[in-house]
């Protein structure tokens, strides 16, 4: 066979074999078969080229290099080609940056409430719950709130439409967690040592410190020797546990229908005093309303705003942030 025909055959068969190979291993076989240095068709062709006459030699030599280059290039191109679809087929490119996993976390108020429960449990307080939809006896009457008291004003409460009443009596979203005091005392004899944490509702203009729905922690302790002194130590210990041991607590005389005497509880904050809630010694009328004997037992009660504590500890200056579900805010806790 003349050298040019042999070279043409080498080239066309080489290109065909390359095109037919479907993976890198097959291509390697083709490489060995056609371009292998020790044995292989190109090596055989070298001797054919060597036999060319001196006149033929330049043409044959040029053609030899051409055929060799074409087969080599085609092989490389095909190698790249078979490599690519593999990645596409498995759809995994290990060189790509990963998708970051975002961990959820608890809402700052939820965290605060959990911590409150834990602190109060250490002081021996049991956690109880009450309904958010209440009737007037629990929200007002049993708490010694007279019929003409401004706290009952329909404009200051979320009363439900007349159609939604309990046994023909008006119902409202509770305006204070003090309702739970009554529900507990109605059902169990003294002694009592409970807290209840939950939502309360009041129509209000929403601003940085007010919302129409907020959270309170109610506390109630009833027993033979429970006094104002017990109230003060429990609240001081509580503030110290949550806000730090050096937190200064102040009790200011106040008035609530269900306590006598009543106090307002403040903590020292940035040079001023910040109000956290109300408290006092349970009024004998309240004890009587639930069937307790005020001659035998007494007690204290308190109702604290949850958000206030959380805002103090974390330097949050707007209560609305808690309810906007802005991930940039929530992520920080």
Enumerate residues 6+ apart whose C-beta is below 8 A from 270. none
Of 11 and 134, which CB lies nearer to ligand DAH in the complex structure?
134
CA distances from 308 to 66, 102, 181, 255, 268 (A): 85, 29, 22, 21, 13
| Contact range with ligand DAH by CB under 6 A, out of 33-41, 49-57, 134-142, 271-279 | 271-279
Determine which residue in the list 3, 14, 198, 278 makes contact with ligand DAH, applying CB under 6 A: 278
**Using rule CB under 6 A, residue 134 touches ligand DAH:** no
Distance (Å, whole) CA 145 – CA 282: 13
Minimum distance between the CB of residue 178 and ligand DAH, rounded to whole angstroms?
A: 4
Minimum distance between the CB of residue 224 and ligand DAH, rounded to whole angstroms?
A: 19
| Contact range with ligand DAH by CB under 6 A, out of 68-76, 239-247, 278-286, 290-298 | 278-286
| Contact range with ligand DAH by CB under 6 A, out of 19-27, 28-36, 105-113, 299-307 | 299-307
Determine which residue in the list 280, 306, 307, 322 makes contact with ligand DAH, applying CB under 6 A: 280
Residues numbered 198-257 forming contacts with ligand DAH, rule: CB under 6 A: 218, 256
> Cβ-count burial of 27 within 10 angstroms (0-12 exposed, 13-18 middle, 19+ buried)?
buried
| Contact range with ligand DAH by CB under 6 A, out of 80-88, 103-111, 274-282, 314-322 | 274-282
**Using rule CB under 6 A, residue 144 touches ligand DAH:** no
Determine which residue in the list 279, 310, 311, 312 makes contact with ligand DAH, applying CB under 6 A: 279
* Beta-carbon count within 10 A of 298 CB: 21
- For the four alpha carbons of 233, 234, 240 and 241, in that order, the dihedral sign comes to positive
Minimum distance between the CB of residue 333 and ligand DAH, rounded to whole angstroms?
A: 26
Distance (Å, whole) CA 240 – CA 82: 70
CA 177 to chain centroid: 26
Distance (Å, whole) CA 235 – CA 324: 31
Minimum distance between the CB of residue 168 and ligand DAH, rounded to whole angstroms?
A: 27
Q: Is the peptide bond before 151 cis (omega within 30 degrees of 0)?
A: no
CA distances from 269 to 33, 147, 248, 249, 275 (A): 86, 37, 9, 10, 10
Determine which residue in the list 74, 195, 303, 308 makes contact with ligand DAH, applying CB under 6 A: 303
Of 112 and 176, which CB lies nearer to ligand DAH in the complex structure?
176
Task: Tell me if 196 sits within 8 A of 218, measured CB to CB.
Answer: yes
- For the four alpha carbons of 67, 72, 75 and 77, in that order, the dihedral sign comes to negative
Minimum distance between the CB of residue 238 and ligand DAH, rounded to whole angstroms?
A: 14
Determine which residue in the list 144, 157, 176, 196 makes contact with ligand DAH, applying CB under 6 A: 176
Stretch 63-102: interaction string toward ligand DAH, x if CB under 6 A: ----------------------------------------
Determine which residue in the list 178, 182, 235, 311 makes contact with ligand DAH, applying CB under 6 A: 178
CA atoms within 13 A on the CB side of 255: 5
**Using rule CB under 6 A, residue 259 touches ligand DAH:** yes
Distance (Å, whole) CA 228 – CA 259: 11
Count of residues near ligand DAH by CB under 6 A: 13
Minimum distance between the CB of residue 321 and ligand DAH, rounded to whole angstroms?
A: 22
Minimum distance between the CB of residue 225 and ligand DAH, rounded to whole angstroms?
A: 18
Which SS3 state, helix, strand or coil, does residue 258 take? coil
Q: Which residues bind ligand DAH (CB under 6 A)?
A: 176, 178, 218, 256, 258-259, 277-280, 301-303
């Amino acid at each position: 066979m003349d050298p040019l025909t042999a070279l043409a055959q080498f080239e066309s068969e080489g290109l065909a074999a390359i095109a037919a190979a479907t993976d890198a291993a097959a291509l390697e076989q083709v490489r060995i078969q056609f371009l292998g240095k020790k044995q292989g068709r190109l090596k055989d062709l070298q001797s054919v080229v060597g036999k060319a006459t001196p006149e033929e030699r330049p043409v044959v030599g040029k053609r030899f290099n051409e055929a060799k280059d074409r087969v080599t290039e085609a092989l490389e191109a095909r190698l790249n080609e078979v490599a690519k679809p593999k990645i596409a087929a498995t759809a995994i490119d290990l060189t790509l940056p990963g998708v970051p996993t975002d961990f959820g976390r608890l809402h700052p108020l939820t965290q605060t409430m959990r911590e409150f429960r834990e602190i109060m449990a250490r002081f021996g307080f049991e956690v109880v719950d009450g309904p958010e939809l209440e009737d007037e006896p629990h929200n007002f009457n049993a708490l010694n709130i007279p019929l003409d008291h401004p706290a009952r004003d329909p404009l200051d409460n979320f009363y439900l439409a007349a159609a939604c009443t309990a046994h023909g009596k008006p119902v409202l979203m509770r305006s204070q967690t003090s309702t739970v005091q009554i529900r507990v005392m109605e059902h169990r004899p003294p002694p009592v040592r409970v807290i209840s944490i939950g939502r309360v509702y009041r129509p209000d203009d929403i601003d940085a410190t007010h919302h129409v729905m907020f959270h309170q922690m109610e506390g109630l302790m009833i027993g033979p020797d429970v006094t104002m002194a017990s109230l003060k130590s429990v609240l001081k210990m509580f503030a110290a546990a949550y806000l730090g041991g050096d937190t200064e607590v102040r009790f200011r005389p106040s008035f609530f229908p269900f306590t006598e005497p009543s106090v307002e509880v403040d903590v020292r904050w940035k040079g001023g005093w910040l109000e956290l809630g109300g408290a006092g010694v349970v009024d004998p009328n309240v004890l009587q309303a639930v069937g307790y004997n005020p001659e035998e037992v007494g007690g204290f009660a308190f109702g604290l705003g949850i958000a206030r504590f959380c805002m103090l500890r974390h330097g949050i200056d707007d209560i609305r942030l808690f309810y906007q579900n802005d991930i940039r805010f929530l992520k920080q806790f």
